[in-house]
Amino acid sequence: MNINDLLAEVEAKKIVPVVKLDRVSDAKPLCQALCEGGLPVAEITFRTDAAEESIRIAAKAFPEMMIGAGTIVNTEQAKRAVDAGAKFLVSPGLSRSVTEWALDHEILIFPGTCTPSEIMTAMDYGLSVVKFFPASQYGGLATIKALSAPFPSIRFMPTGGINAENINDYLKFDKIIACGGSWMVKDSLINEGSFDKIRELTAQATALVK
């Protein structure tokens, strides 16, 4: 699947669950809960020692899922994530080295942006979609709309402060391809092993954005 196909998949799903796994053993039940809830996609963040192996396990056990890696801050992490099976990369900011590595290897990347200068840098690389992060702290939908005026070719995946109450407000704006969110995969739910609750919240989120 090429980058454009993956972008179309992200847009169709509308929500990208942002997952932090502290235990490798949680990877399978977490992914199963997401799939059963109707949302076969996960951005597994590289914030923990369990991330790389969790991506490897998830990618192998759930080939139908879009497994990505988040919080990628250097090329070493990017390579490890892709080698483990990540189909896309997400960064909290715009790293030239990470972006160049991803493009050189034909990997879909969502670099984090929140300023006009960062968006212009992303455009220099030929990117058409960027992450907007942290969304709520940087003005949310109002800021995205303001940024869209001078950059009509750019679309956004806002992350940070997105929840069941405001996601449809974001998705109604045609410059937003999808939203990253963690309310259905909260750390506390994963650490408690509450995968039934995660499945329930995922199903509710999926129904909400249809």
Catalytic positions, written as ranges: 43, 131
Sign of the torsion formed by the C-alpha atoms of 202, 157, 173 and 155 = negative
User: Shortest CA distance to 158 belongs to which of 183, 182, 137, 133?
Assistant: 133
CA distance 91 to 106: 16
Are 70 and 44 within 8 A, CB to CB?
yes
Q: 10 Å Cβ neighbour count for 1?
A: 10
